[in-house]
Amino acid sequence: MSTRARRRSAARLAAVQALYAVAVGGATIGDVLREILEGRLGGEALADVPDPDGLFEPREEATPLAPADTLVLTQLGRGAAANMDRLDETIDACLSGEWSRGRLETLLRAILRVAVYELTEMADIPPRVTITEYVDLAGAFYDGPEVKLVNAVLDRIAREVHPDAFAAR
C-alpha cells in the first residue's frame, strides 16, 4: 500500500473516531478534529501481540498509526457531521430485516455515515475502494454480521450513486 493510501486509510479511521467522539461525548466536530490534528486524540491503535512461546494469552499493545491525510480527514469529518440527517436517511433506507435504526450501535452508525458521505460526495475516489476500506474498517471492530451489513449498505448505495462503476464489463 502506498504512503498516500495509508494516509487516506488513517484519515478514514480518524473521521470515524471523530464522529463517534461527537456522538458519545457531546463535543463539536471542530473541537474533536482539532484534538486529532494536534495529536491529543487518536494516532494509536491497540494490537494483540502474541506470546512468542504460546504459553500466555496475547497482550494488547499501543501501536502508532500512519499519519492521517489532514485534508481527507477534515473533509470527511466535517462533511459527515454537517450532513448527518441526510446520511441517516440514506442509510436507514438500506436497512431491512432485523437491522433497524435503533439496532445500529454508535460506532457502526459512525462508520456508515463517514462511508456514505465519501461515496456520495467524494467523486474522485473509486466506489470499490471506498467500500473495501470501510468493510475492512468495520472488520477491525466487529467479527459478526455488522461487517456484512456495512458491505451490503455501501454496495447498494454505490450502485445507485455510481452505476457506471458497476456496469457489466
The answer to whether position 152 is within a domain reads yes
| pLDDT classification of 145: cutoffs 50, 70, 90 | very high
Distance CA 9, CA 134 (A): 9
Model confidence at 71: pLDDT above 90: yes
The answer to whether position 47 is within a domain reads no
The per-residue pLDDT for 108 is: 97
The per-residue pLDDT for 139 is: 96
| pLDDT classification of 13: cutoffs 50, 70, 90 | very high
Beta bridge partners of 46: 62
The answer to whether position 57 is within a domain reads no
Q: What is the DSSP letter of 7?
A: H
The answer to whether position 51 is within a domain reads no
pTM reported for the whole predicted model: 0.87
Total number of domains constituting the chain: 1
The answer to whether position 101 is within a domain reads yes
pLDDT digits (tens, 9 = 90+) for 25-49: 989 999 999 998 887 666 656 567 7
Computed over every residue of the chain, the mean pLDDT equals: 90
Which cell is 110 given? 459512525
What CATH number has the domain bearing residue 139? Answer: 1.10.940.10
Distance CA 85, CA 90 (A): 9
* Structural domain range at position 115: 3-41+68-163
